[in-house]
Amino acid sequence: MSCQFLLSLLPCLRKVERDTDNGSSFLKNGSMLLENLIASCGAKFTNPIRTYSADELIRATNNFDPSCMIDGGRNYQMFRGFLDGRSIVVKKFMWENYEDEARSLAICDIIISMQVSNHNNVLKLLGCCLEFPVPALVHENAAKGVLNSRGGLGPNDQSLLPWKTRLRIAKQLANVLTYLHTAFPRTIIHRSLTPSCIFLDHDFVPKLSNFSLSVTIPRDVTTVRGTLGYLDPAYRMYFHISEKTDVYGLGMLLLVFLTGQREALKFYLPGDEQNIPYASASDGQIQETVDPKIFEEVGEDEKARQDLHDFTALALLCTRYRSELRPDMIDVAKELMRIEKSMFP
């Protein structure tokens, strides 16, 4: 597949000869992408992608008009556009004073997305544009948009999802993360799980995105990257990254789904096992911390309340300070499947 993609670059190279404004960016980005593709030659690339011109993406997004922006992080912005008769999402990296770093993030995003986009719970990569100073990514559109910081939809954090939908999203996220951890010659760690990297399609199926910080292990890591509140303490304090790094991030997402609140921004001290200040698996505190809308759906059903207790206990187990005490992702996926079948047979 990587050979097909490289062949698709050849017509663009002829264009570069005529367009010096974009030529240097194309050659610099293309050479770095080629280098990373060669380094990943043992990986499986199952998703054919194409290259887009800068003019195409500018037209598709009305010159990246702010009214088209649907999400933005510290390093990137995402715009909804329309191209070739279909709705798309364009991810444009911001590079002011950090062009080399932004380029590395974008290339990583492309390489990992090319490997995993065949999974139903990944936001599919359609292609990329190498003519900007930093490559831009072109994804399929997801009709419902991106989750907000409370795990719902909408810009004002007001549209929380039904409990059944939250639980199904959690289960499918655990499944796709299990896929990242087990389906490739080298384990892929997402490393940056937050609500803002989760899109929902028309049927509320979650689509995982933003692989710019993803890594394959084993690998030496000397810097900490990610979002406070979702960072694995073992990674944040000791630069230790493993499958349990994603288990921790997913555990924090489970707590967001459970409470309808933003992540707990707590710094951990070695040996501190009281890791979530606003949630506990004790019966008394579940009533106080769980989103009241969930109790409205669950009602007085004792079995459903026990399943809710089990969900809370699983979230807390995933966020244990010591990574060896957390479950494997495949076991998290199995438990979420069991809870879903029990609550919604």
| Digit-coded pLDDT (tens) for 108-121 | 999 999 899 999 99
Which of the residue ranges 31-40, 215-224, 243-252 would you say has the lowest mean pLDDT? Answer: 31-40
CA distances from 10 to 3, 13, 28, 51, 110 (A): 11, 5, 15, 10, 19
Mean pLDDT lowest among 116-120, 207-211, 217-221: 217-221
Whether the CB-CB separation of 333 and 318 falls below 8 Å is answered with no
Name the helix (H) or strand (E) containing 76: strand 76-83
CA distance 110 to 199: 18
Q: How many helices (H) and strands (E) does the chain have?
A: 12, 11
pLDDT band at 94 (very low <50, low <70, confident <90, very high): confident
pLDDT beyond 70 at 12: no
Name the β-bridge partners of 125: 139
Measured CA to CA, the distance from residue 26 to residue 134 in angstroms comes to: 9
Check the CA dihedral 248-74-60-156 and report its sign: positive
Question: pLDDT tens digits for 285-305?
Answer: 666 778 889 988 988 889 998
Q: Say whether pLDDT at 1 is over 50.
A: no
Residue 72: band (very low, low, confident or very high) from pLDDT cuts 50, 70, 90 = confident
Taking the C-alpha atoms of residue 243 and residue 92, their distance in angstroms, rounded to an integer, is 28
Phi (first) and psi of residue 84, to 5 degrees: 55, 35
Considering Cα of 135, then 140, then 145, then 151, what sign does the dihedral take?
A: negative
Residues 6+ apart with CB under 8 A from 203: none
Q: Is 188 helix (H, G, I), strand (E, B) or coil?
A: strand
pLDDT above 60 for 3: no
Residue 97: which pLDDT band, with cuts at 50, 70 and 90?
confident
Q: How far apart are CA 88 and CA 20, in angstroms?
A: 28
Cα 107 from Cα 212, distance rounded (Å): 8
The 3-state secondary structure of 43-64 reads CCCCCCCEECCHHHHHHHCCCC
Rounded Cα gap, residues 36 and 211, in angstroms:
14
Does 275 have pLDDT greater than 50? no
The average pLDDT across 26-45 equals 58
Contact between 247 and 325 under an 8 Å Cβ cutoff? The reply is no
Strand order in the sheet with 145-146: 145-146, 198-200, 206-208
The pLDDT mean for the chain works out to: 84
* SS3 of residue 274 by DSSP: coil
pTM of the model as a whole? 0.86
Model confidence at 33: pLDDT above 80: no
pLDDT at 163 over 70: yes
- HSE of 82 in the Cβ direction (CA atoms, 13 Å)? 2
On the question of pLDDT at 267 being above 50, the answer is: no
**pLDDT at position 229, please?**
85
Give the CA dihedral 89, 94, 100, 105, nearest 10 degrees.
-40
Range 12-17 contact pairs with CB under 8 angstroms and sequence separation of 24 or more: 12/51, 12/53, 12/130, 15/53
Cβ atoms within 10 Å, residue 198: 22
Length of the chain: 345
Picking from 52, 37, 27, the residue whose alpha carbon sits closest to that of residue 4 is: 37
Q: Please tell me the predicted confidence (pLDDT) of residue 271.
A: 45
- Average pLDDT value for residue range 65-72: 89
